[in-house]
Amino acid sequence: MVKVTFIEHSGTQHTVEAKPGDSLMQTAQNHSIPGIDADCGGACACATCHVFVADEWIARLPPVSGNEDAMLDVVEERRRGSRLSCQLHADASLDGIVVSLPASQR
C-alpha cells in the first residue's frame, strides 16, 4: 500500500492508503475525500481533480502530458506543483506523497 496525504483547503488532513496502480483521484474518491469531484471520471477532461503537489515530490512525478497541461491551463490557480490527480498513479515511489487542494475545490 502507498500512503497519500490530502490536505483540504481548510487545512484538514487525510492520510489514506492507495492501492498500487490506482490514481490519486480514485484514491481520494475511495476514501470520500472532499474536494475531488472528478466530473469526467479520470479522462483528463475536467480538471476538477486538480491538486498542488508538495515541492519535495514534484520532481519524482512523471512529466505533465500535453492533455494534462492543456487542462491545467483552465484551472483558476495554476502553480508549479499543479497536477491532475487522475493522471498520477500510486506506486511505491510515491509512498508518503502530500497533495493540497485548491480553494476552488471545497
Q: Which is nearer to ligand FES, 36 or 98 (CB)?
A: 36
**Does 72 sit near ligand FES (CB under 6 A)?**
no
Place of cell 497519500: 4
Given a contact cutoff of 8 angstroms between Cβ atoms, the answer to whether 3 and 15 are in contact is: yes
Query: What secondary structure letter does DSSP report for 71?
Result: H
Instruction: Figure out which of the listed residues 2, 4, 38, 98 binds ligand FES, where binding follows CB under 6 A.
Output: 38
Binding track over 10-29 against ligand FES, x by CB under 6 A: ---------------x----
CA–CA distance, 55 with 74 (Å, rounded to integer): 22
Q: How far is the CB of 29 from ligand FES (least distance, A)?
A: 9
Given a contact cutoff of 8 angstroms between Cβ atoms, the answer to whether 98 and 104 are in contact is: no
Instruction: Figure out which of the listed residues 8, 16, 17, 46 binds ligand FES, where binding follows CB under 6 A.
Output: 46
CA–CA distance, 77 with 101 (Å, rounded to integer): 11
Q: How far is the CB of 50 from ligand FES (least distance, A)?
A: 8
